[in-house]
């Protein structure tokens, strides 16, 4: 059963949407893709399928556009700060803005979001201040807990480790008879983790209100999709576990919003989990410690430049009369100003207190750890650090 099954919606085959110009790292699957529905509403030229176009207000469309631009502005500034030595290792999201933003637009404040480490655009939409996220990426422990009244898990660094806890939250919602849901994302590489399969099975068996979003961005660091699995259609995990599934053009913000909306509605109605495979592409580095030119062909990247999620949405909004060149420029400038303001707030925050690193593990510090703490502090004083 596919997630998109409304009578007034038509679909195209996987081959029509994804096979044309698909780079070798994302070869199509040998299985029968006819079993799995595919959704694309806004193509790479900004042309919309009128039969599938969602009824969204102009305000929602423009707010969504700004969220995508703000995510990219944050991304760019964080890369600059890292290269200046003023930020820790960072995982950019360039080219995946639609995939990330589209997964949370249907969530309420009572719903939960369990992000992986490339989800800062969605976290911003969920209420994380930009300077809070900067604090997080800079390695401050107080950056990881979500802001007050934001039902998010801290993002996961250990690959796939957050998917099982997300299912646990969903099972808890059923236990408490709450009509809420959980959205959890993970990458194509994380799909090879046993915990992800366990999470899918638990969610299916207990009909947990969880929306799984597999962000298939072509590369698990340097491992291409074609080497990740014999079956490159990650949505097929849904078939294997008895979970409704769908493949979505992850660079199409409208398709991501519609697929996630239907999946979250299903979850809240007690119909259990859904698996969405979002086909997107990591245009930039895996992290700032990575050099993708070592393992992938730049011609592959150029193919996906034409599929930029922001550019195609800009074209769509311009054709609707909601954007023009001045509005695009104004949006970009206001987003950059917002990011700069957050950067300045971050720079003005107190530096880390090195004495705190022993304070959050034990209620009563063991003698051997206390001895290590004293030795650590002694060495800091020898280096002239004022404690």
Residue 359, classified by CB atoms within 10 Å of its CB into exposed (0-12), middle (13-18) or buried (19+), is: exposed
How long a stretch of residues is the chain?
387
Q: Are 183 and 211 in contact (CB under 8 A)?
A: yes
370 and 265 housed in the same domain: no
The pair of three-digit structure tokens given for residue 61, joined into one six-digit string? 């469309």
The pair of three-digit structure tokens given for residue 212, joined into one six-digit string? 């799984």
307 and 386 housed in the same domain: no
Q: Tokens 């390695």 belong to which residue?
A: 139
User: Is 175 in the active site?
Assistant: no
220 and 236 housed in the same domain: yes
85 and 134 housed in the same domain: yes
171 and 56 housed in the same domain: yes
Q: Is residue 6 part of a domain?
A: no
372 and 300 housed in the same domain: no
User: Is 360 in the active site?
Assistant: no
Q: How many beta carbons lie within 10 A of that of residue 336, not counting itself?
A: 17
Q: Tokens 């919309």 belong to which residue?
A: 48
Residue 103, classified by CB atoms within 10 Å of its CB into exposed (0-12), middle (13-18) or buried (19+), is: buried
Tell me the residue ranges of DSSP E strands in 203-273: 210-216, 219-220, 223-224, 245-249
Q: How far apart are CA 163 and CA 161, in angstroms?
A: 6
> What mean pLDDT comes out for the span 162-174?
98
34-88 pLDDT, tens per residue?
579 999 999 999 999 999 999 999 999 999 999 999 999 999 999 999 999 999 9
Q: Is residue 1 part of a domain?
A: no
Q: Is residue 5 part of a domain?
A: no
187-209 pLDDT, tens per residue?
999 999 999 999 999 999 999 99
Q: Is residue 9 part of a domain?
A: no
Which one of 162, 282, 307, 343 is the catalytic residue? 282
82: three-class secondary structure by DSSP: helix
The per-residue pLDDT for 26 is: 44
Determine the structural domain holding residue 371 and report its residue range: 354-387
The total domain count for the chain is: 2
Exposure letters 133-150 (e unless 16+ CB within 10 A, then b): bbbbbbebeebeebeeee
Chain Cα centroid distance, residue 217 = 11
251 and 359 housed in the same domain: no
Q: Is residue 3 part of a domain?
A: no
Which one of 206, 229, 295, 373 is the catalytic residue? 295
The per-residue pLDDT for 387 is: 79
In Å, how far are 86, 130, 360 from 356, measured between CA atoms? Answer: 21, 24, 8
The per-residue pLDDT for 27 is: 43
DSSP state of 27: P
358 and 252 housed in the same domain: no
Residue 9 in this model has a pLDDT that exceeds 70: no
Q: Is residue 270 part of a domain?
A: yes
255 and 386 housed in the same domain: no
307 and 387 housed in the same domain: no
Span between the terminal Cα atoms of the chain, in Å:
61
Which one of 286, 307, 312, 343 is the catalytic residue? 286
User: Is 286 in the active site?
Assistant: yes
207-227 pLDDT, tens per residue?
999 999 999 999 999 999 989
pLDDT band at 360, cuts 50/70/90? confident
Q: Is residue 150 part of a domain?
A: yes
Q: How far apart are CA 185 and CA 284, in angstroms?
A: 19
Q: Is residue 190 part of a domain?
A: yes
CATH number assigned to the domain comprising residue 107: 3.40.50.970
pLDDT band at 352, cuts 50/70/90? confident
pTM as predicted:
0.88
Tell me the residue ranges of DSSP E strands in 232-348: 245-249, 274-279
Residue 309 has phi, psi (to 5 degrees) of -65, -35
378 and 322 housed in the same domain: no
The pair of three-digit structure tokens given for residue 171, joined into one six-digit string? 């099972």
222 and 319 housed in the same domain: yes
Tell me the residue ranges of DSSP E strands in the chain: 37-39, 112-114, 182-187, 210-216, 219-220, 223-224, 245-249, 274-279
Average pLDDT over the chain reads: 90
């Amino acid at each position: 059963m596919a997630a998109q099954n409304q009578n007034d919606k038509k679909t195209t085959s996987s081959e029509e949407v994804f096979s044309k110009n698909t780079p070798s790292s994302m070869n199509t699957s040998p299985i029968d893709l006819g079993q799995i529905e595919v959704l694309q509403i806004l193509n790479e030229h900004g042309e919309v399928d009128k039969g599938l176009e969602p009824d969204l207000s102009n305000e929602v469309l423009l707010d969504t556009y700004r969220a995508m631009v703000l995510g990219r502005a944050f991304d760019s500034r964080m890369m600059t700060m890292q290269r200046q030595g003023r930020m820790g290792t960072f995982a950019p999201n360039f080219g995946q803005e639609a995939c990330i933003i589209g997964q949370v637009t249907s969530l309420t404040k009572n719903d939960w979001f369990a992000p992986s480490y490339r989800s800062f655009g969605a976290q911003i939409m969920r209420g994380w201040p930009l300077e809070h996220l900067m604090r997080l990426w800079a390695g401050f422990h107080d950056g990881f807990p979500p802001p007050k009244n934001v039902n998010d898990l801290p993002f996961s660094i250990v690959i796939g480790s957050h998917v099982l806890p997300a299912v646990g939250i969903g099972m808890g919602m059923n236990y408490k008879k709450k009509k809420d849901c959980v959205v959890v994302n993970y990458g194509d590489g994380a799909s090879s983790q046993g915990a992800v399969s366990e999470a899918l099975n638990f969610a299916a068996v207990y009909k947990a209100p969880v929306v799984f979003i597999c962000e298939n961005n072509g590369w698990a660091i340097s491992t291409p999709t074609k080497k990740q699995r014999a079956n490159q259609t990650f949505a097929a995990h849904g078939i294997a576990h008895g979970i409704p599934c769908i493949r979505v053009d992850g660079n199409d913000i409208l398709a991501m919003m519609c697929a996630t909306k239907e999946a979250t509605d299903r979850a809240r109605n007690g119909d259990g989990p859904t698996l969405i495979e979002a086909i997107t592409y990591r245009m930039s580095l895996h992290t700032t410690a990575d050099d993708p030119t070592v393992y992938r062909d730049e011609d592959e990247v150029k193919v996906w430049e034409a599929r930029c999620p922001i550019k195609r949405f800009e074209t769509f909004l311009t054709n609707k009369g909601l954007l023009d060149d001045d509005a695009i420029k104004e949006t970009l400038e206001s987003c950059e100003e917002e990011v700069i303001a957050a950067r300045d707030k971050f720079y003005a925050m107190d530096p880390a207190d090195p004495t705190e690193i022993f304070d959050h593990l034990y209620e009563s510090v063991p003698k051997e750890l206390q001895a290590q703490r004293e030795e650590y502090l002694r060495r800091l004083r020898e280096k002239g650090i004022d404690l």
